[in-house]
Structure 1
Amino acid sequence: MTTIQTYNLFGEVGDLPDVVHCETIEARSRLHDWEFAPHRHARLHQVLLLQCGSGRMTMDGEPLDLGENSVVNVPMGCVHGFNFTPGTTGHVVTLPVEILDVVLHPAEGLRQVLARPAVVSARPNVVNTIEQISINFARRDFARAQVLRSLTGLLLGQIARDLAGDQSPAEQGQDLLARFQSLLEKHYRDHWTVADYAKALAKTPTHLSRLTRTATGQPATALIEERLIREARRNLVYTNLPVSTIAYELGFKDPAYFSRVFTRATGMPPSAFRSKSARP
C-alpha cells in the first residue's frame, strides 16, 4: 500500500448521515474477512468496545493486543488497523467531529485527553453507555437525536476520565497548566481573577495557584498580572498610543490605576518606562 486510505466508515467515502453511528464489530468484519488495513478517518472519532474474542491492532504504527473487555479510543486522524479473531463481538461507536464541538466544553480539557490513542479496560459504566447508544441508535423514537447526543457526551466524559487516570500526576499538571495559559491569552484583558480561571478549569483557586507555583515558581495572581504588564510594555515600546489609551485597551477603567499597577510591577511609571526605552 503506497498511501494511507482515508474513510468515513471503513470502505465508505460519503458523509456520515446521522448524529452518531453504532454497529457491531462483526457486522463490518464479516465483510472484510475480519481484517481492516491501516486507515484513518478525517473527521470522525471512534470508540470501540471489544466484549468477547480477541484481536491485534496498530495505532500510528504501534502494535497492540486486544483482549476481552477492552475499549479502544481512536481520535480523528489516527492511522489504525485491526485483525480480529473470527467471532469477536462488541460495538463500534463513530462520532462526527461536529458532535464533539457540541458536547465538549473547550475549557475543561477533554479534547486534549481524547486526542490520545489508547486502549483501556472496559468499565461497567462505559459498557452500559455504549449498549444504550446501540439500543437508541436502532430506534426511531421521538427525541432520538437528543438522547444520542446526551449519551455521546456521557461516553466521551467516561472515556476521558479513564484516559486521564492513566496519566502521571506530572502529565496531568502539564495539561492543566497549558489550559490555564490558553485561557489567560483569551481573557487577560477581561481582568479575570484566579477564581474565574479556576472555575473555568473546574478546579479550586488554591489548586490552580499551587500548580502554577510548582511549575513556574509564581502564584496564579502573579502570572495574570505579568501577562497584562507584558502587553503594556509592548504597547509602550512599539506604539505611540497615549498611556490612557493603552490602559483602556488593556481593560483598565481608570488610567491612574493602570499607572499605579505598572509602577508597582516595574519600578517606574509608564511614561518613564517609555522614555527610557526610547533612548539610543
Structure 2
Amino acid sequence: MLQTSNHTLIDPKTGNLAFKVMTFEHNIFESLQRFNYYTLVWVTGGTGRVQADLSEYEFTENTVLSFSLYQPFKILPETQLKGIVIHFHPDFFCIYKHHKEVACDGVLFNNMYGAPLVSLPETSRQTLQLLAEQMKEGIRIKGFAQYELLVSYLKIFLIMLSRLKSEQYPQQATDMTGDDEPFVLQNLKDCIEAHYKKKHAVSDYADMLAITPKALAKITKRHYKKTVTALISDRIIIEAKRELYLTNKTVKEIAYDLGYNDEYYFSRFFKKNVEVSPQVYRETVGSDRG
C-alpha cells in the first residue's frame, strides 16, 4: 500500500511551493525529475541507484541524496524504499545569500563533478530525524516568526549534512581550504560554467586562469581524475541533454546555442559521449517523462 505524508508551505505571493517536508513508504522519483527547487531525499530504508546528470551511483539505507535547481535525476530502486523528502525554493532559502553560515553550495549542491550522496552515521540520525519532525510541525503551525523558525531548522540540517559530506568526500571540499590548487579548480569550474557555450579549448581556460595548459591539466587530473577537455565536454553534454528533453528546439538550434556551427559535428560529439544520437536520446527520454 502506498503511503505518503506531506507538509507544504506555499508562497502567498506566487502560489508556488516554498518549503515541503514529505515522508514516503514507496518508491518515488522513478521517472526523470527536474525541479525548480532544491531537493534532499533521505532514504531511511531500501537500496538502489540514482542517476544524476551524466553519472550513476549506488546507495544504501540512511543515505541522503541532494539535487540542485533543475538538476535532472532519477531514482532506480532495487528494494522497496522509504524515507523523507525535503524541498525548498531559493526564494524561501537562498544558499548563496547564506553561504558563509551554511557553506552547502559546491558541497551539497551545484557540484556537477561530485557524487550527490551523504551517508548518515548512527550518531547523526536522531538529530536529523528530530529536525525533520520540527520542520513538519513548524509548517503545520502558522504563527509568529514561522519563516525564521523553519529557516533555523533547515540551516542546522544543511550544516550537518555539509560537514558529513566534507568528511566523506574531502576532495570535493578542498575548494574551502584556501591552498593554490583548489583555488585554481574553483576558478576553472566558474570559468567553464560562464563560458562553456562559446569556449571549448583548454588553452582558453588556461589563459583565463593565467596558468599553462600543462599545469592546469596536471592539477585537474590529480583532483578530478579527468582531463580539462572532459570537464568541458561534461558541462556541454549536461546542457545538451537538458535542452533535448526540456525544449522543442531542433538539434541544429541546440548545437548553435552550445557553440557548434556544424550540426553534424555536434551530433558526432554527442554520440561519442552519450553513445546515442541527440535525436535518439530525445525520443528515449521523452518516452520516460511520465
TM-score, normalised relative to structure 2: 0.47
Based on CA coordinates, which of the two structures has the bigger radius of gyration?
Answer: 1
Would you tell me which structure has more helix in proportion to its own residues?
A: 1
TM-score, normalised relative to structure 1: 0.48
